[in-house]
């Protein structure tokens, strides 16, 4: 099984073929992280591009979301696990106005597998709720996903509230999602940004001194 086949059927939104290819690739012993990254995530990105270019519309975007979720469900039990004591506590959610949850859930899964205690807040989370939950769970890290140019500024709002409340030093603040960047993170006063779930784990490790 060639992983590009998975991406190709994914982009064509051929649901059964894609899921069968994913299962076949796993059965053949291909790396589940590669299947995820170069098959499913690459497929979702390509669908996003087609949407941008108006070759695909909202219905296709929604179908891609559903298919992505179904494939991730097949792959997740095969992802490598790091059994050990908790490396730290992370509260994670998508900012207010943002309903994209595939990337956010993948980041949560990878962090859990890497040994973090992750509290998934969900999507469309108001800024103050991130802070309240971080306090409730005694979190080390506040993680925010933002996927739209209109929702990214909400990450800055969380930092502003932390500063106003005089508790900025209590938490590391990280962001991620399509359209975010390290530059945007720094300009909003965050501690870092990651482009994907694997990098998110490395970022948390670095910020908490695990690497």
Q: Residue 51 or residue 160: which is nearer to ligand B1M going by CB?
A: 51
Instruction: Identify whether the C-beta of residue 93 lies closer than 8 Å to the C-beta of residue 134.
Output: no
Q: Residue 26 or residue 42: which is nearer to ligand B1M going by CB?
A: 42
| 143 lies in the binding site for ligand B1M (CB under 6 A) | yes
Q: Which residues pair with 89 in a beta bridge?
A: 117
Of 98, 116, 159, 171, the residue at the interface with ligand B1M (CB under 6 A) is 98
| 121 lies in the binding site for ligand B1M (CB under 6 A) | no
Instruction: Identify whether the C-beta of residue 121 lies closer than 8 Å to the C-beta of residue 129.
Output: yes
Minimum CB separation of residue 147 from ligand B1M in Å reads: 4
- Tell me, residue by residue from 56 to 95, as one string, x for binding to ligand B1M by CB under 6 A and - for no binding: --x--xx-xx--x-----------------------x---
Give the span between the Cα atoms of 189 and 196, in whole angstroms: 20
Give the span between the Cα atoms of 205 and 192, in whole angstroms: 12
| 176 lies in the binding site for ligand B1M (CB under 6 A) | yes
Q: For residue 42, what are its two tokens?
A: 């690459």
Of 33, 79, 102, 208, the residue at the interface with ligand B1M (CB under 6 A) is 102
For 4-8, the CB contacts below 8 A with 24+ separation are 4/38, 6/35, 6/38, 6/39, 6/40, 6/43, 7/38, 7/39, 7/40, 7/42, 7/43, 7/46
* Number of Cβ within a 10 Å radius of residue 171: 24
Of 75, 174, 188, 201, the residue at the interface with ligand B1M (CB under 6 A) is 174
| 196 lies in the binding site for ligand B1M (CB under 6 A) | yes
- Binding residues for ligand B1M, rule: CB under 6 A, are 41, 44-45, 47-48, 51-52, 58, 61-62, 64-65, 68, 92, 97-104, 106-107, 143-145, 147-149, 174-179, 194, 196-197, 200
């Amino acid at each position: 099984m060639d992983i590009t086949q998975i991406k190709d059927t994914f982009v064509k939104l051929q649901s059964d073929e894609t899921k069968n290819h994913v299962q076949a690739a796993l059965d053949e012993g291909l790396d589940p992280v590669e299947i995820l990254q170069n098959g499913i995530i690459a497929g979702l990105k390509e669908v996003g591009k087609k949407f941008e270019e108006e070759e695909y519309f909202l219905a296709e975007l929604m179908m891609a979301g559903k298919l992505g979720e179904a494939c991730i469900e097949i792959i997740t039990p095969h992802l490598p696990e790091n059994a050990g004591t908790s490396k730290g506590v992370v509260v994670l959610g998508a900012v207010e106005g943002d309903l994209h949850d595939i990337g956010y859930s993948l980041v949560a899964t990878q962090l859990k597998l890497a040994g973090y205690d992750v509290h998934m807040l969900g999507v469309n989370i108001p800024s103050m709720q991130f802070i309240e939950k971080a306090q409730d769970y005694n979190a080390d890290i506040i993680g925010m996903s933002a996927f739209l140019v209109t929702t990214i500024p909400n990450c800055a709002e969380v930092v502003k509230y932390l500063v106003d409340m005089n508790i900025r030093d209590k938490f590391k603040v990280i962001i991620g999602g399509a359209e975010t960047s390290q530059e945007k993170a720094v300009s909003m006063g965050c501690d870092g940004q990651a482009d994907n779930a694997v990098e998110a784990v490395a970022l948390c490790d670095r910020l908490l001194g695990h690497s």
